């Protein structure tokens, strides 16, 4: 497996080859999931990284990724990569940006088309961890390989923006959720407290939120009502809807 970029010819590339060879194309993914913080227990954003097993940046952590195959679309390539590295099959997967700076990789020139995914806690729990694949808190990453720190920063920025408008938070939750859980997602991503009463009023005003008859039992206090999200993902040109 090839972490982040297509490193064909890496090492053997000399200046002449580099100037002549066409830029190689790779697919990477930023995968967000909610996990309870170790300290506070409140949900926070985490993402899985893979450790590079070859040069360049050998031993450093990087976004999952790999080359684009000839018989798969960009989206399919992102999906496959996700499955192969973390065995995840998230329902929310959207193109983030194409990164094509000249010096992203020290050897060959690489253009990376980056996707971002949101996975539910139930799925995220199934994600395999190993020596080479681990989850990290999105706000406490070390120095990553390539320009992957900048990529994660941009993904976080996009996530916060989408959150402010669209109905995207639900893809980080399970099928049924309480309004307080939705609020916790917003608080985790936007990194600020929200008034519970006002927040509930706004969420209930959106037509895509459906009240179920069920209540979440087993809590320590008054059982909250469970809701369900009935809207569509809504994304890019491959699968379009709202901003």
Pairing assessment for the beta strands 209-215 and 225-229 based on DSSP bridges: antiparallel
Q: Where are the alpha helices (DSSP H) in the chain?
A: 15-20, 74-86, 121-126, 148-164, 179-190, 196-205
| Shortest spacing between CB 228 and DNA, in angstroms | 14
234 binds, among its own copies, DNA, none (CB under 5 to 8 A by kind): none
Question: Candidates 145-153, 176-184, 195-203, 223-231 — which segment interacts with its own copies by CB under 8 A?
Answer: 145-153
Q: Computed from CA positions of residues 233, 63, 42, 215, in that sequence, does the dihedral angle turn out positive or negative?
A: positive
Q: Which residue, 72 or 191, is less far from DNA as judged by CB?
A: 191
The one-character DSSP state at 38 is: T
13 binds, among its own copies, DNA, none (CB under 5 to 8 A by kind): none
| Shortest spacing between CB 222 and its own copies, in angstroms | 37
Give 105's strand partners. Answer: none
Regarding 190 and contact with its own copies (CB under 8 A), the answer is no
Sequence-separated (6 or more) residues with CB below 8 Å from residue 4: 26, 28, 50, 52, 62, 63, 64, 65, 112, 145, 146, 148
Q: Which residue, 87 or 193, is less far from DNA as judged by CB?
A: 193
Alpha-carbon distances of 236 from 4, 169, 239, rounded to whole Å: 22, 17, 5
Window 48-87: residues binding its own copies (CB under 8 A): 67-68, 70-74
Regarding 192 and contact with DNA (CB under 7 A), the answer is no
Q: Which of 225, 230, 238, 241 binds DNA (CB under 7 A)?
A: 225
Number of neighbours of residue 144 by Cβ within 10 angstroms = 20
| Shortest spacing between CB 61 and DNA, in angstroms | 35
Residues that bind its own copies (CB under 8 A): 18-25, 67-68, 70-74, 95, 97-102, 109, 111, 113, 150-151, 153-154, 157, 161, 164-165, 236-237, 240, 243
């Amino acid at each position: 497996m090839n972490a982040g970029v297509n490193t064909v010819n890496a090492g053997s590339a000399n200046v002449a080859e580099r100037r002549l060879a066409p830029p190689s194309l790779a697919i990477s993914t930023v995968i967000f999931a909610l996990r309870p913080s170790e300290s506070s227990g409140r949900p926070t954003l985490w993402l899985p990284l893979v450790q590079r097993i070859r040069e360049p940046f050998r031993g450093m952590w990087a976004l999952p990724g790999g080359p684009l195959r000839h018989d798969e679309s960009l989206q399919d390539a992102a999906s496959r990569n996700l499955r192969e590295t973390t065995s995840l099959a998230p329902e929310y997967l959207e193109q983030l940006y194409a990164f094509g700076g000249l010096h992203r990789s020290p050897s060959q020139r690489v253009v990376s088309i980056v996707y971002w995914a949101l996975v539910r806690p139930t799925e995220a729990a199934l994600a395999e961890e190993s020596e080479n694949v681990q989850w990290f808190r999105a706000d406490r990453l070390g120095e990553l390989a390539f320009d992957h720190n900048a990529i994660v920063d941009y993904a976080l920025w996009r996530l916060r923006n989408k959150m402010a408008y669209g109905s995207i938070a639900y893809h980080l939750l399970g099928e049924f959720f309480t309004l307080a859980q939705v609020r916790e997602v917003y608080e985790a991503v936007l990194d600020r407290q929200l008034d519970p009463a006002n927040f509930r009023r706004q969420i209930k005003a959106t037509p895509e939120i459906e009240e179920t008859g069920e209540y979440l039992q087993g809590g320590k206090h008054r059982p909250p009502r469970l809701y369900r999200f009935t809207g569509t993902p809504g994304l890019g040109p491959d699968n379009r809807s709202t901003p």
